A = this chain, B = another copy of it.
Amino acid sequence: MPPRPVDIELRVRYAETDQMGVVHHSVHFVWFEMGRTEYCRAAGFSYAEMEKSTGIFIVVAEARCRYRSPAAYDDRIQVRTWPAEISHRMIRFEYEVRHLDSGRLVATGETFHVPVNSSGRPVPMPPAHLAQLQAFADSGAPAGG
């Protein structure tokens, strides 16, 4: 069973466009990050609270995006997020960005995340949060929309 995804919706901001008239390619990584925030919330915890309570930060080790078609100002966008790999040392998320109305694919991506302490040293993922993430990912039914 594939990992359960979480969907968010957003509207393209004017400030997110560039002079080509479409969303600048660095913005998709910000949308991915919004997807991760909501994935954690759907799994039962707040990423903001986790950072504060554990002192652990989940840093981005690698990020990648394939741009399939442009997104324009005021377009309604759906970002689908799911963890493709989960371990206590690394989490890999994958993403699909679509036009909400047409379903047209805008971008796909993946990001790799590594837990570190406040000195930047790799540490294991906080076990309770890892368990919540894994349980939600395994829970199958589609979420959001």
- Complex Cα gap A67–B37 (Å): 20
Enumerate chain B residues within 8 angstroms of A19, measured Cβ to Cβ: 14, 17-22, 72-73
Which of A54-62, A80-88, A97-105, A137-145 forms contacts with chain B?
A: A54-62
Tell me whether B26 and A30 are in contact (CB under 8 A).
Answer: yes
Tell me whether A14 and B29 are in contact (CB under 8 A).
Answer: no
Main secondary structure of the interface of A (DSSP, over half): mixed
- Complex Cα gap A67–B116 (Å): 13
CB distance from A39 to the nearest CB of B (A): 13
Tell me whether B62 and A33 are in contact (CB under 8 A).
Answer: no
Copies of this chain, how many? Answer: 4
Q: Which of chain B's residues has its CB closest to A120's CB? A: B70
Enumerate chain B residues within 8 angstroms of A60, measured Cβ to Cβ: 25, 67
CB within 8 Å of B: which of A8-35?
Answer: 11, 13-15, 17-22, 24-27, 29-30, 33-34
Residues A74 and B46 in contact in the complex (CB < 8 Å), given A27-B26, A57-B20: yes
Tell me whether A33 and B13 are in contact (CB under 8 A).
Answer: yes
Q: Which of A25, A62, A64 has the most CB of B within 10 A?
A: A25
